[in-house]
A and B are shown apart, each in its own frame.
Chain A
């Protein structure tokens, strides 16, 4: 199975999501990577350590802004040249747009939200938890190239220490691909550790009752050595910064421990954190949907439980 993996980068670093998918692809056969945009050349070689034999790079001017359509042009050209059996993406806002555009361009099958990829003889089979994870579907493709978006946080990058050949290529953008232009970019920086890298996240929702109550999450997060996350509802209400938002809009996280405080567990939130190792949910409402997928479901008042839990964690750590 010959794969091509789309490797995203941000602030001079290859994103973990793409590297995890690359490691998985390398376990299924020959894997190549593609890095696009400014600085791609410098980053390309590093993908060798995660199993890529060749990394294709293009720094064509149209690829500087993080916009999907010129990337569809680039990938379409690369697929035509290298004929991969499968093109893989770690899910993100940008990658989803690129994968979908490429599917339309090549009239190729795209399966999304995959949590595993296995070979059944010569055939690639994807695993997709569907309908709010109530059913597990084995999905396939009718022909090559097979396109797949892998659920964020599914595969961990595995360093194997190889080296990759780096090959540059030129992209001729389609006339419509460069019509959308980036005019401004704002990055919200949150204080404290980034929620994408954190092993522990303590997240708060509307059940906190007030923006001040986020202090409870912050204290517990600090005791556990983790970061603070938030739901869309509370970010929209201005209680907490957008950079901490977990969900379909916002970040997708997969920490070892996710503590949900006063979060109902709407599907938009769930898709952003369902890859977490252990989910502890504290909510007053015994019927909150989050209890359907929490590992430890605690029905009770978070305003009483969280401060006491924080003290107990601190006590254990210092003791």
Chain B
């Protein structure tokens, strides 16, 4: 399991636009590099990132090899109600990683 950093305000007023910052540890191997024997290193990138808010998808990103290693993604969403935010990263080779965080909306 890769290390993940997720940062957003834990408490928010209803209707506030909150910024969510995410970062996951991943090499984002482009598939264009060669190893020391001259063989191509196979591509292994996180190709999709999604965020759902109480089950509803609020953000989705398709990523390509041009995204840096340890992909950082920041986006915004409207705090509508208390509940859970589920973040998931799916990669070419490694397992899909899912993280859940709670948010309190007043």
Q: Do A and B come from one complex?
A: no
Chain B positions near chain A (C-beta within 8 angstroms): none
Binding site for B on A (CB under 8 A): none
